[in-house]
Amino acid sequence: QVQLVEAGGGSVRAGGSLRLSCGASGATISNYCMGWFRQAPGKEREWVARDLPSSSRRTVYPDSVEGRFSVSRDNAKNTVYLQMNNLKPEDTAMYYCATYRASVSERGVSTMGCRFNYWGPGTQVTVSL
């Protein structure tokens, strides 16, 4: 079964960029719906990107990151990326890659035509002024 590990987080100044990666193992994710979420201290987990290969709208984003974030994947590497540009302090959060595992009993979160119930361990993104 698929497992996810995020990487690429770090500390960056406002206006800077980071590229997060989500390496998948245990399954080929070429046809999987993949998502990115984030959670800041004191806040609920927030969806920030979705990549659904079968959708006419393959990638979608909430208004909070639209135009700044973009999700992509490299099937040869079985890896999903989140390019984050023009970062703002409010983007500071732990970022998680997400997918669906049928073996996971919890229903998880349904959004934009996908269900997410499995997350990687996360990677921290800190944006300073």
- The arithmetic mean of pLDDT across residues 51-56, rounded, is 94
Q: Say if residue 114's pLDDT is above 90.
A: yes
Q: 24-31, long-range: CB within 8 Å, 24+ apart, which pairs?
A: 24/78, 24/79, 24/80, 24/99, 25/78, 26/1, 26/2, 27/1, 27/2, 28/75, 28/78, 29/2, 29/73, 29/75, 29/78, 29/80, 29/99, 30/73, 30/75, 30/78
**Do the Cβ atoms of 35 and 50 come closer than 8 Å?**
yes
| Structure confidence by residue, pLDDT tens digits, 102-111 | 888 888 999 8
- 52 sits in which H/E element: none
| Structure confidence by residue, pLDDT tens digits, 59-96 | 999 999 999 999 999 999 999 999 999 999 999 999 99
Q: What are phi and psi of 89, to 5 degrees?
A: -55, -35
- The arithmetic mean of pLDDT across residues 1-7, rounded, is 95
Return the percentage of the chain with pLDDT > 70, whole number.
Answer: 100
